[in-house]
Amino acid sequence: MLIYDDLGKRIATSTSGLKLKIEKTDIEIDSRGFADFVVKTFKFKDHPVSDITALSDAIAKLDFVEECSSTGGYLNIKVKAEKLYSIIDDAISGVGMYPETFQDPERVVVEHTSANPTGPIHVGRIRNSIIGDSVARIFARYGYRVSTHYFVNDSGKQVMALYEGFVRYCKGCELTVENLLHGYQEIYRHMEELGGETAVIGPLLKRYELPDVKLLEEIKGACSVVLKNIKETLGQLHVNIEDYIWESGFLQSEELVEVFERLGTHIKEEKKAKFLEMPWGKKEYLVRSDGTKLYLVRDLAYHLFKTEHFDVIVDVLGEDHRDYAKTLGYVLPDLMELDKRFEFLIYSFISLEGSKLSTRQGNIITVEELIKKGLEEASRIVSEKGNDYDEKTREKIAKEVAVASIRFNVVRVNPQKAIVFRWGEALNTEGDSAPFIMYSYARSSSILEKGEPSEKRKSSYGKEEKALLWNMYLFPDFIEKSMNSKRPDLIASYALALTKTFNDFYSSCQVNVAEDDIRGTRRRIVEMYRTIIKDAAGMLGINMLERM
RNA sequence: GGGUCUGUGGCCUAGUUUGGAUAAGGCACCGUCCUUCUAAGUCGGUGAUCGGGGGUUCAAAUCCCCCCAGGCCCGCCA
């Protein structure tokens, strides 16, 4: 959990002795520029005006309240800038961050990406990784003990097609991603002439479940090659997944046995096939008529495994898995009686304008390609700026800018909303973008680097200083909201809004040329901003640069 | 066909959970500001009956109903 001086809560508490008591939820953060906090008093119709006045007076008396005025059914509360300053200053002086994180004993696992290792990761898939990685970072920032998982599918028809395609169309070739992908696309192109999926993959499935250890190893080997490529790509985007859990590991596992035990009498049978019946009428199959097991079983075993180590299990899934998530959300707690928190973060797809993304059909834009173009674009911009940075510095700037831009342009959109991939937007570096944030950070670094420090502090604050302090004060609120709703885009909007208020401050408040007390205060405000914006960007996997 | 999610200026996005004070940003376009700490920036301007229609309410982008358009799902695939 987060620890900070919650002024809204203090206002609510202070009204406990009044006729009109308000809750923290009655105190809203103003978004229209009337005040800092706002209370909608028109909601309290059954209270006489005198109660509202008493409420207003009580709030106005609080030591951190600058002003509390009642107008047109609203209570507009303005907080003292010096209070905001000291709240943030104290936290950063004490623990180096605002707000402070109190380690929660609950263990959280975020499973994300989990793309079939049948080819390089493409732009349609990357949203999963970016959202998943950001959510994991936000949970960790909030105070949970977080781990990340990638569930590697090396047991299904797709990977068998990958293996078989390589054997048939690339016999004797070197085991590379390109050759594997070629074989994979070829086998799907010729599937009809070969007699269909059952004829081609069926025999492999049987051998797989025996299990034929040699086959298992060979398939896993093929998957490893592709997975290595995926890992490298993810790493470039600062997505580092802690554990890769192999699906084949559950084939003969204790967990798999326990899944069947726990499901017990819930399992129905029809023509030797085993299935579960959902309350909404759907049948979910566990075992085929020929005795081979379906993905659901292995995934249930994997989830059982997760409950042995974690308290909160978060799955990041594409919208095509919405119904599947509903199934898991029912089977795990209700049929298997697992008493843990299962949460599903469903996101909509990134589509290509006019065409559909498909690894099988070869219609993809790979993330490698996206990063490459992003790097070229960023390098071009860095050169154009005409700074006197050396080659190494330029490369570093271009790399971080490219990665940050790509991540930001994906993460800033509400996961629920679909994204159409457009090059111009994917690599956007102006306006509402990562470089806009990074640039203001670089400027703040420059301010601190150039001027003289001062221990003196001033006692009054200007409009822009106050606005910046207020927005910084609100940081914990946004961390909480984005954690609770599993929406990293809220952190992205926050970072943009905070940067805008910093830019206002920057353009109207001179720091280094000011008198000692003003300079001392302003430099400290700049330090606070740097700490907070870097923290926020960090939750989105964006690394700040001291200069750019 | 059934289910589900989405629809906000020319384009992209926030606001919808918990209905209220001028619908907020960005891109593009027009104009402003580098002899003040980095112009990837700043300031100003043009531009929205919030998909359409009904309803509830003193009050609707927000809640309810119907319709339209688009995404996704409806496998003994994963």
Question: Å from A332 (CA) to B22 (C1')?
Answer: 50
CB within 7 A of strand B (chain A, 390-449): 397, 401, 412-414, 416-420, 425, 429-433, 435-436, 439, 442-443, 445-447
Residues A217, A282 within the same domain: yes
Here the CATH number for the domain that contains residue A430 is: 1.10.730.10
Distance CA A383, CA A385 (A): 5
Residue A289 domain-assigned (yes or no)? yes
Per-residue confidence (pLDDT) for residue A266, from 0 to 100: 96
Residues A69, A182 within the same domain: no
Residue A414 domain-assigned (yes or no)? yes
Residues A404, A534 within the same domain: yes
CB within 7 A of strand B (chain A, 131-160): 153, 155-158
Per-residue confidence (pLDDT) for residue A23, from 0 to 100: 92
CB within 7 A of strand B (chain A, 261-320): 270-271, 273, 283, 285, 288-290, 294-296, 319-320
Residue A22 domain-assigned (yes or no)? yes
Last residue of a domain, one of A352, A380, A396: A352
Query: In A223-246, which positions are buried (b, 16+ CB within 10 angstroms) versus exposed (e)?
Result: bbbbbebbbebbebbbbebeebbb
What is the three-class DSSP state of A150? strand
Residues A332, A187 within the same domain: yes
Burial of A91 (0-12, 13-18, 19+ CB in 10 A): buried
Q: Are A442 and A387 in contact (CB under 8 A)?
A: no
Residue A125 domain-assigned (yes or no)? yes
Residue A544 domain-assigned (yes or no)? no
For chain A, how big is the Rg over CA atoms in Å? 28
Here the CATH number for the domain that contains residue A14 is: 3.30.1360.70
Largest CA distance in chain A: 89
Would you call the peptide bond into A211 cis, given omega within 30 degrees of 0 as the criterion? yes
Residues A200, A53 within the same domain: no
Residues A111, A181 within the same domain: yes
Per-residue confidence (pLDDT) for residue A98, from 0 to 100: 97
Distance CA A397, CA A437 (A): 14
Residues A348, A380 within the same domain: no
CB within 7 A of strand B (chain A, 27-56): 30, 32-35, 38, 40, 42-43
Residues A181, A312 within the same domain: yes
Residues A175, A26 within the same domain: no
Structural domain count of chain A: 3
Residue A258 domain-assigned (yes or no)? yes
**Which protein residue's Cα is closest to nucleotide B25 at C1'?**
A432
Residue A279 domain-assigned (yes or no)? yes
Per-residue confidence (pLDDT) for residue A255, from 0 to 100: 97
Q: Which nucleotide is nearest to A151 (CA to C1')?
A: B78
CA A398 to each of CA A92, A320, A376, A394: distance values in angstroms, whole numbers, following the listed order: 30, 35, 8, 6
Last residue of a domain, one of A327, A352, A377: A352
Would you call the peptide bond into A99 cis, given omega within 30 degrees of 0 as the criterion? yes
The complex's ipTM works out to 0.96
Burial of A47 (0-12, 13-18, 19+ CB in 10 A): middle
Paired tokens of A161: 């097609």
- H-only helix segments in A65-212: 81-95, 126-142, 157-169, 177-189, 196-209
Q: Beta carbon of A489 within 7 Å of strand B?
A: yes
Last residue of a domain, one of A352, A384, A412: A352
Residues A372, A347 within the same domain: no
Per-residue confidence (pLDDT) for residue A170, from 0 to 100: 87
* Tens of each residue's pLDDT in chain A, 548 residues: 999 999 999 999 999 999 999 999 999 999 888 999 999 999 998 899 999 999 999 999 999 999 999 998 999 999 999 999 999 999 999 999 999 999 999 999 999 999 999 999 999 899 999 999 999 999 999 999 999 999 999 988 889 999 999 999 988 889 999 999 999 989 988 888 888 888 888 888 888 888 888 999 999 999 999 999 999 999 999 999 999 999 999 988 999 999 999 999 999 999 999 999 999 999 999 999 988 899 999 999 999 999 999 999 999 999 999 999 999 999 999 999 999 999 999 999 999 876 666 777 777 889 999 999 999 999 999 988 877 889 999 999 999 999 999 999 999 999 999 999 999 899 999 999 999 999 999 999 999 999 999 999 999 999 999 999 999 999 999 999 999 999 999 999 999 999 999 999 999 999 999 999 999 999 999 999 999 999 999 999 999 999 99
Residues A301, A439 within the same domain: no
What is the three-class DSSP state of A314? strand
Location of structure tokens 């898991």: A328
Residue A547 domain-assigned (yes or no)? no
Nucleotides of B under 7 A from a protein CB: 3-7, 12-15, 17-18, 20-22, 25-28, 36-43, 70-78
Residues A378, A235 within the same domain: no
Query: In A258-277, which positions are buried (b, 16+ CB within 10 angstroms) versus exposed (e)?
Result: bbbebbeeeeeeeeebbbbe
Domain that holds residue A506: 367-539
